[in-house]
Amino acid sequence: MSVPRVWQRFTLAERIARAILYVCVVIAVVWSIRTIEVIPEFLYDAPEQTADLFSRMWPFDWAFYPKAIHAALIETFHIATLGTLIAIVLALPLSFLAARNFVSNPLLNFVAQFIFVASRSVNSLIWALLFVAIFGPGALSGVLSIAFRSIGFVGKLFGEALEEAQVGPIEALTAAGAPRSMLLVKGYWPQVEPAFWSIALLRWDINIRESAVLGLVGAGGIGVALDAAMNNLYWDQVGLILAVIFAVVIVTEIVTSSIRSRIL
Amino acid sequence: MSVTRARPPAFPVNWPSRLAWIGLALYTLYATSILDLTWQRFVVGLGNGAKFLSRMFPPNLAADKLALISDGMIESIQIAVLATFFGVLLSLPLGLAAARNLAPGWLSWSARGLIAVFRSFHPVIVSILFVKAVGFGALAGILALIVSTMGFVAKLFAEVVEEMSPKPVEAVRATGANFLNLLVMAVMPQVTARFVGLSVYQLDSNLRNSTMVGIVGGGGIGAPLFTAYQRFDYDVVLTILIAIILLILLAEMVSGRIRRIFL
Amino acid sequence: MTRAETGASLLSIRHLRKEYRPGQPVLKDVSLDFPSVGVTAIIGPSGTGKSTLIRCVNRLVTPTSGEILFEGQDMAKLSGSTLRLMRRRIGMVFQEYNLVDRLSVIENVLCGRLGYVAPWRAFMRRFPPEDIARAFDLIDAVGLSEEFATRRADALSGGQRQRVGIARAIMQQPALVLADEPTSSLDPKTSVEIMELLAEISTSRGVPIIVNIHNVELAKRFATRIIGMTGGAVVYDGPPGGLETAHLHQIYGGEDFL
């Protein structure tokens, strides 16, 4: 009769780490559920309200499309695209500053990283609030808010791609006495170009979605029409706008994925 | 040095790439003119910006404002926690259903359709709909972020499941294991770490978004932010922005820790 | 079809046919019987349907037509829970071991009990103590020491992984073990060790084993019966001693390989 051998999946330290994590999750969820304010009366008629909402949306007010939606849609597209382009122009130099293998000055690295974090922490809608306050309502604020929100995204990802670049070709160029600008053009760029295009496309795709809501705070695009329709309670127009946004997003996704498969 | 045979150029011009760059430049000019983005407007705006900034500084740290802000921030955190928890929970079955290597065709296609719908609407638009359905307040924000969480986590989780190795799955199936046991012992070990990574990333992203749903009535810090903005209390706006940035920084540090436990 | 009429065999394959694409059969009308003892080696060139044949037995592949009678049930017609119940009785060893890399050795061995264990137990890793004790015994029996039990499967060498694969199959307490090219990813010395282990397990535990194998020498050395297949049909079925060069020519075609 042999002694029963004990087997446990994790070591003690692993089990403690997991247990602490699980307890934290439970505490966070329970605390949130208990203290968050939910008004139960609103919940009782939620199904009715939802049904009512959809019944008011259908049929769509098709006449509204040529009147207001089409132009706003084009504007949304331009806001997203221009915003992405500006973000790329601003983010590229910063991401070189942020890449520790390219610039070995911790202060510059930190400054660039801080700009990225600040840019990413503030939502594009909140950026839009700030720019509407500065430049007034309209597409300019929209473009800038998309650009400022995207700088952090593009810069962080592209900076990481730069840091992952192989050192071999760079060292070879340095050994050949190439100036720093040539290191950039012939050493780094060929290695990170695929990553660059994929990041740019990904952000453009996201920005198409984001630019659709900027109009809610007055920063131009289809959101302005959506806001107006909602304030007037024209739900048949709201429904049409939502359907149009859905269609545009789907088309964008198809386009970006086909471009990505072609150039990568 | 006799022959002048033409060698191929050492650096052939990459025409598609060059055309793409030229096209982008032309587009930029065109779109700038269409949107009426003139330099003059920009300069006028910069003047406004200086005024705006001077009204922002110093940030307003009055006790009553801070209490209001901390209430709003806490509600935002709660929205993010609950939306992540339930959204991730719901993403598990949805992502599995969408994985073409585990689910039958009809199921994976309907799951994929659902995910596409969830993904295509910005959380703010979804919160508008939920505010109409369940009224103003945190619940609308939570529901909206649950939807966007499912759109993101379920989609990427399905991709992770599709990328896993089919061999252990085949071996475990051959032992006569039922579907749940197959999931537990053959699928989960392969996908758990990446699922946790996705969920933690989504917690970050939900924290960011939970600061925004309040603008349309979905609860959280967005409501006081929007109110302060409309009242031109820009110093309060700045305080709130600083609070948001600090929260996101903290969240990024915490999420790095959690990921390490599950690696 | 001599033994078939007596009904004494553990596994009877009757007129088995499998087409992955219509009109292109990989298996043409295969009929075989397996008694409940001994090591049977199936030899033949690549793409001749050996693997398909073995996978039809535990229904990882569904045959186009024919019967697979195992313990009184036709495997070809089963589905759902009855199929799972029958699969528990058949262990399988794979060419590339098919271990779950991120699980430990003992977890991989315990996978062999998944047909018997409730999902929550598997999830919490609360396997019955007698299963865990048996898993330790098996890890020992396949030639790995107990210290391997908690190592992750992806930290092992090929031969060690295959030993874990065998332990997983035996953990099922199967009435039959199928081994699909168990040595093809291993070096020659390890291949011999693995075949020795399979033959030893077959005699000591009284389990019949059906092995697909490329290496004719290994087959002759360790099998009690050899089945030669070519082009989806059986062309030799008999003891290793009876396998002549002429048979090999017929199985593999040409003479250069010798």
Q: Residue B200: give its domain's CATH number.
A: 1.10.3720.10
**CB contact B31 to A (< 8 Å):** yes
List chain A residues with CB under 8 Å of B134. 42-43, 46, 49
What is the C-alpha separation between A149 and A144, in angstroms, rounded?
8
Q: Residue B182 and residue C172: Cβ atoms within 8 Å?
A: no
Q: Residue A123 and residue B245: Cβ atoms within 8 Å?
A: no
**CB contact A7 to C (< 8 Å):** yes
What is the C-alpha separation between C102 and A211, in angstroms, rounded?
43
Q: What average pLDDT does the segment A242-264 reach? A: 85
Q: Residue C92 and residue B190: Cβ atoms within 8 Å?
A: no
Are both B120 and B218 inside the same structural domain? yes
**CB contact B177 to C (< 8 Å):** yes
Tokens of B112: 């994929």
**CB contact B81 to A (< 8 Å):** yes
Among B168, B174, B190, beta carbon nearest to C60? B174
Phi, psi values for residue C230, rounded to 5°: -150, 140
Per-domain residue ranges for chain C? 1-89+176-258, 98-173
The string of pLDDT tens digits covering residues A210-226 is: 998 898 888 888 888 88
Please give the class, per CATH, of domain A67-263.
Answer: mainly alpha
For chain C, which residues score pLDDT lower than 50? 1-7
Task: State the complex-level ipTM.
Answer: 0.88
Q: What average pLDDT does the segment A22-48 reach? A: 81
* Residue B183, domain member (yes or no): yes
Tokens of B202: 């989504």
Chain B contact partners (≥3 CB pairs within 8 A):
A, C
Are both B108 and B41 inside the same structural domain? no
Q: What is the pLDDT of residue B5?
A: 67
- Chain A nearest-CA distance from C171, in A, is 17
Q: Residue A133 and residue B129: Cβ atoms within 8 Å?
A: no
**CB contact A182 to B (< 8 Å):** no
Nearest-CA residue of chain C relative to A5?
C133
Q: Residue C114 and residue B176: Cβ atoms within 8 Å?
A: yes
- Chain C nearest-CA distance from A11, in A, is 10
Q: What is the pLDDT of residue A218?
A: 86
Are both B33 and B153 inside the same structural domain? no
Among C85, C107, C168, beta carbon nearest to B176? C85
Are both B102 and B231 inside the same structural domain? yes
Burial class (CB in 10 A: 0-12, 13-18, 19+), A236: middle
**CB contact C107 to A (< 8 Å):** yes
Residue type, A162: L
**CB contact C104 to A (< 8 Å):** yes
Nearest-CA residue of chain C relative to B189?
C102
Per-domain residue ranges for chain A? 67-263
Q: Residue C119 and residue B178: Cβ atoms within 8 Å?
A: yes
Nearest-CA residue of chain C relative to B167?
C98
Q: Residue B170 and residue C103: Cβ atoms within 8 Å?
A: no
Q: What is the pLDDT of residue C3?
A: 41
**DSSP output for B238-255:** HHHHHHHHHHHHHHHHHH
| CB-CB contact of C30 with C233 (8 Å) | yes
Q: Which of C102, C110, C136, C140 to mutate to test the interface with A (most CBs of A within 10 A)?
A: C136
* Confidence check: pLDDT of A3 > 60: no
Q: What is the pLDDT of residue A1?
A: 36
List chain B residues with CB under 8 Å of A130. 52, 237
CA B114 from chain centre, in angstroms, equals: 18
Q: What is the pLDDT of residue A232?
A: 86
Chain A contact partners (≥3 CB pairs within 8 A):
B, C
CA C135 from chain centre, in angstroms, equals: 20
Q: Residue B186 and residue C111: Cβ atoms within 8 Å?
A: yes
Q: Residue A2 and residue C133: Cβ atoms within 8 Å?
A: yes
Q: Residue B185 and residue C122: Cβ atoms within 8 Å?
A: yes
- Chain B nearest-CA distance from C100, in A, is 5
For chain B, which residues score pLDDT lower than 70? 1-6, 8-13, 262-263
Strands C24-34 and C65-70: unpaired
The string of pLDDT tens digits covering residues A152-193 is: 999 988 988 888 877 788 788 888 887 777 777 777 888 888
Helices and strands in chain C: count of H runs, count of E runs: 10, 10
* Confidence check: pLDDT of A16 > 90: no
| CB-CB contact of A229 with A109 (8 Å) | no
Q: What is the pLDDT of residue B194?
A: 86
Q: Which of B170, B181, B183, B196 to mutate to test the interface with C (most CBs of C within 10 A)?
A: B181
Of the candidates A209, A198, A246, A203, the one whose C-alpha atom is nearest the C-alpha of residue A77 is: A209
Are both B188 and B114 inside the same structural domain? yes
**CATH number for the segment(s) C1-89+176-258:** 3.40.50.300
- State the residue range of the domain holding B26: 15-54
The string of pLDDT tens digits covering residues C77-135 is: 888 889 999 999 999 999 999 999 889 999 999 999 999 999 999 898 889 999 999 99
Are both B85 and B27 inside the same structural domain? no
- Chain C nearest-CA distance from A1, in A, is 11
* Confidence check: pLDDT of A46 > 80: no
Among A2, A4, A7, beta carbon nearest to C149? A7
| CB-CB contact of C176 with C91 (8 Å) | yes
- Its pTM stands at 0.82
Q: Residue B244 and residue A216: Cβ atoms within 8 Å?
A: no
**CB contact B248 to A (< 8 Å):** yes
* Residue B106, domain member (yes or no): yes
Q: Which of C58, C98, C110, C116 to mutate to test the interface with B (most CBs of B within 10 A)?
A: C98
The string of pLDDT tens digits covering residues A82-91 is: 999 999 999 9
Are both B187 and B224 inside the same structural domain? yes
- Chain B nearest-CA distance from C226, in A, is 24
Q: What is the pLDDT of residue A130?
A: 87
The 3-state DSSP class for residue B59 equals coil
Are both B47 and B81 inside the same structural domain? no
Cα maximum dimension of chain B: 90
Q: How many structural domains are present in chain B?
A: 2
Chain C contact partners (≥3 CB pairs within 8 A):
A, B
Q: Which of C102, C105, C125, C152 to mutate to test the interface with A (most CBs of A within 10 A)?
A: C125
Of the candidates B255, B245, B232, the one whose C-alpha atom is nearest the C-alpha of residue B73 is: B245
Task: Find out whether the peptide bond into A194 is cis, omega within 30 degrees of 0.
Answer: no
Q: Residue B120 and residue A209: Cβ atoms within 8 Å?
A: yes
List chain A residues with CB under 8 Å of B116. 250
List chain B residues with CB under 8 Å of A39. 135, 137, 139
- Chain B nearest-CA distance from A52, in A, is 9
